[in-house]
Structure 1
Amino acid sequence: MKVMILMPLAEQRGGSEMTFWDLLQQGRNSDIEWLVIFGEDGSLVKQVRSLGIDAQVFPSGRVRQLHRLVATAIKIALIAKRQQVDVIISWMWLSHLTGGLAGLLAGKPALWYQQETPDGKNFLKRLVNLMPARGVVTITKAIQAAQSKITPQLPVSLVYPGVALDRFDPAILPTPAMARQKLGLPLQGPLIGIVGRMQRWKGMHVLVQAMPKVLQKYPNAHCVVVGGKHDLEADYEDFLKSEIVNLGLQEKVILPGLQRNIPEWVQAMDVFVHASDQEPFGIVIIEAMALGKPVIAGNAGGPTEIITDGVNGLLTPYGDSEALAIAILRYLDEQDFAQKVAVAARQRALDFSTQNYAQNFINTLRSLIPGVS
């Protein structure tokens, strides 16, 4: 099977780009021949080519530039026909405006990868749902159910993303104490941490608001928020800093900014928090679980399909700093419980390897495009 992927982004910004890389890295040795069309130039283009995979760049412009979108779709259709592509995958829902049209022009089946909860209300999202498609691939049961309601005429498949578990193996990382020392973090007292882009829906402020209650019982505790400023919410970091000042937590909350060596930062933590609102999936949750960390995550969206509350993690409502503080204190107060959860979390994380993800994705492609070997 020859598979063309339309990837609008070419820089590593989040989970979607990570799953894209995992699929190609793990799937390059399969009997699939990959061809990637990027919508912009960037570091991912070079990375994909380093795998021996053909990667081309066709900037499509903004969606409102209809003539450029159509011109790009025609170019992609010509490539798909010339290179005898069997299927066109749009890696993000918006790129299916191009992918669906290209598939129609080339006479090739097309599908898209739905990685966020669809609502069917936005004009562009409604338009994407009307484009020709052989099916949709989703990343959680919740997204699968929502998409199936919107497009009941299409098969909607589920493929859970994976995690590079070898990077999050506690056996190859410094001990938590050594990691703290290396990163310049406090050596004494509990360390509660969160990792993510600086956006309100990621809930960093909720963790900050939970800290005063934690500090009442554990005055030597600290909080570390690992993540960089997001272009679309540049003011959120300032809001977070003002919240820290208002609560008098300047000496207790650490903001190291964007970091690359995430495994070491998570390894340094005693409790890992994921406070997002309706997180589509939550790869970083699995990364923390792979390190055997007691995890707290939101009780809606993707985390509920990863964590069984009270067994391999704890779930709390988004925005509820009181409930979050209680969950943190439960781990700190009940060390035997925290250790039991951590062991179960490590075991659960093994279900989400990148190898399993790539194989499941390829199997799903074959089921959606039958008759192609």
Structure 2
Amino acid sequence: MKKMKLLILSPVAERGGAERVMVDILKHLNADRFMAEVVFFQQGSLVQEVERLGCRTHVLEAARLRNITSYFRVIGQLRGLIRSQGIDLIVNWMPKAHLYGGVAARLEKKPAVWWQHGVPDKHWLDRLVSRIPATGVLCPSLISKHYQEKLKPGAPVLLNNLGVDLQEFPLANPEGSDFRPVHGIPEEAVVFAFLGRLQRWKRPDVVIRAFNRVSRKHQVYMLVIGGALFGLETDYEEELRAIALESDHPERIIFLGHQQQVAPILAVTDVVVHASLLEPFGMVITESMALGKTVLAVGRGGPKEIINSGFDGLLYDGTEDQLVELMESIVEGKFSLQTLGKNARSTVESRFTAYKMAERFEHNLHTLVSSK
């Protein structure tokens, strides 16, 4: 069988959630059926990371979209790559990439699909990108798929759940870790964690305020793991630190900043708290579940599609009051974290591994191209 040659376009070259997904798919892509080259629109650490996977990379420096000269220059370069490398399919990673790759593919009469990592709304970029011809769109969750299908004109939209690389997120074993002693956390204390970019839509402020209320009565600690990425909301962390200072025990809220490796930190936590009201999927959720951790998440969007509340995690209505209630119930031993964590790991192993994600990705590409 002839290999399908993919040209994958990524607007950024640093690791974010969508980029981590791309890397995991490349790791598990069937080398007997696919050959992938990756184009980045800027230099960054991800270029070398992808090269280490054995993929050829290209960096085409793209200025802001308003720079028309740069825009058409990049499209011309893409067209040259499509021809010279014998590309069969262009895969545009995220909407911005499709603004370039979709046009280049159209001009070269090649199929193009794009990856919608978020929940699209009526933002001009979502509307514009959806008008560029595409063979199909891949979405990580049913909620993302639902909103993408509302945009016109409608290209075929296929579900492609995300997955966790279980080698990077083995079942957590906190024994022997010196994390708690170094940070002055007693072994018997319950440790909650917020993990993710520090942006307002992810609502870490709600998590910290809920923690402040719980800490008045219980010996608990909170780890805030994350920072600002891609230059977004760089001042927000200071707001969160101010909220933390409102606590009776501000020393129990530990800001750890952005971390490249989160598994060793999560291994010493007990519960991961998620607060987004309309999460497109929730990689933080599945990664935490893979480590055997209990996750508290809002029962909407992606988390509702992942968690069976009371079996492998806990869902709440998004309010601070109900979050406080659940956190206190956990501290008071009303839930078995061991059982929830064991079931969480089983859920990831059966439904949300990186291998299954890549396998679905391959199937979706063949489905879209064969139906063209």
Compared CA separation, residues 228 and 176, structure 1 to 2 (3 A): farther
| CA displacement 1:222-258 (0-9 Å, x = unmatched) | 1111112343212211111111222333222111222
Residues 7-22 of structure 1 aligned to structure 2 (within 5 Å): 7-12=10-15, 14-22=16-24
**Which letter does structure 2 place at the counterpart of 1:133?**
A
Counterpart contact for 1:27–1:359, Cα < 8 Å: yes
Give, in angstroms, the shift of residue 214 of structure 1: 1.7
Give the equivalent residue in structure 2 for 1:161.
Answer: 162
Give the equivalent residue in structure 2 for 1:6.
Answer: 9
Give, in angstroms, the shift of residue 190 of structure 1: 1.2
**Which letter does structure 2 place at the counterpart of 1:322?**
D
CA distance in 2, matches of 1:215, 1:51: 45
Give, in angstroms, the shift of residue 178 of structure 1: 5.0
Give, in angstroms, the shift of residue 57 of structure 1: 0.7
User: Unaligned stretches of 5+ in structure 2?
Assistant: none
**Which letter does structure 2 place at the counterpart of 1:175?**
E
Give the equivalent residue in structure 1 for 2:367.
Answer: 367
Structure 2 residue 62 is the aligned partner of structure 1 residue 63: no
Compared CA separation, residues 39 and 270, structure 1 to 2 (3 A): same
CA distance in 2, matches of 1:21, 1:213: 39
Give, in angstroms, the shift of residue 61 of structure 1: 1.2
Compared CA separation, residues 30 and 273, structure 1 to 2 (3 A): farther
CA distance in 2, matches of 1:237, 1:337: 33
Question: Normalising by structure 2, what TM-score?
Answer: 0.93
Give, in angstroms, the shift of residue 356 of structure 1: 0.9
Give the equivalent residue in structure 1 for 2:336.
Answer: 337
Counterpart contact for 1:159–1:360, Cα < 8 Å: yes
SS of the aligned residue for 2:250 comes to: coil
CA distance in 1, matches of 2:186, 2:199: 26
Q: Judging by fraction of residues, say which structure has more helix.
A: 1
Counterpart contact for 1:28–1:34, Cα < 8 Å: no
Question: Normalising by structure 1, what TM-score?
Answer: 0.92
Give, in angstroms, the shift of residue 335 of structure 1: 5.0
Residues 237-276 of structure 1 aligned to structure 2 (within 5 Å): 237-276=237-276
CA distance in 1, matches of 2:49, 2:316: 38
CA distance in 2, matches of 1:103, 1:125: 19
Give the equivalent residue in structure 2 for 1:137.
Answer: 138
Residues 192-341 of structure 1 aligned to structure 2 (within 5 Å): 192-218=192-218, 220-230=219-229, 231-318=231-318, 320-334=319-333, 337-341=336-340
Give the equivalent residue in structure 2 for 1:103.
Answer: 105
CA distance in 2, matches of 1:186, 1:226: 19
CA distance in 2, matches of 1:133, 1:262: 36
CA distance in 2, matches of 1:22, 1:109: 23
Counterpart contact for 2:5–2:87, Cα < 8 Å: yes
Name whichever of 27-36 and 361-370 sits farther off.
27-36
Compared CA separation, residues 184 and 261, structure 1 to 2 (3 A): farther
Give the equivalent residue in structure 1 for 2:47.
Answer: 45
CA distance in 1, matches of 2:221, 2:81: 55
Give, in angstroms, the shift of residue 371 of structure 1: 7.9
4+ residue runs of structure 1 moved beyond 4 angstroms? 176-179
Structure 2 residue 355 is the aligned partner of structure 1 residue 352: no
Compared CA separation, residues 96 and 208, structure 1 to 2 (3 A): same
Q: CA RMSD in A?
A: 2.0
Name whichever of 202-211 and 329-338 sits farther off.
329-338
Name whichever of 259-268 and 93-102 sits farther off.
259-268
Name whichever of 133-142 and 239-248 sits farther off.
239-248
Give, in angstroms, the shift of residue 361 of structure 1: 0.3
CA distance in 1, matches of 2:186, 2:8: 45
Give, in angstroms, the shift of residue 362 of structure 1: 0.8
SS of the aligned residue for 1:147 comes to: helix
Give, in angstroms, the shift of residue 325 of structure 1: 1.0
Name whichever of 276-285 and 246-255 sits farther off.
246-255
Give, in angstroms, the shift of residue 23 of structure 1: 1.0
Equivalent pairs, count: 367
CA distance in 2, matches of 1:336, 1:142: 29
| CA displacement 1:332-370 (0-9 Å, x = unmatched) | 223553332222111111121111111110111000001
SS of the aligned residue for 2:189 comes to: coil
Compared CA separation, residues 336 and 197, structure 1 to 2 (3 A): closer
**Which letter does structure 2 place at the counterpart of 1:364?**
N
Compared CA separation, residues 70 and 232, structure 1 to 2 (3 A): same
CA distance in 2, matches of 1:37, 1:353: 26
CA distance in 2, matches of 1:291, 1:117: 26
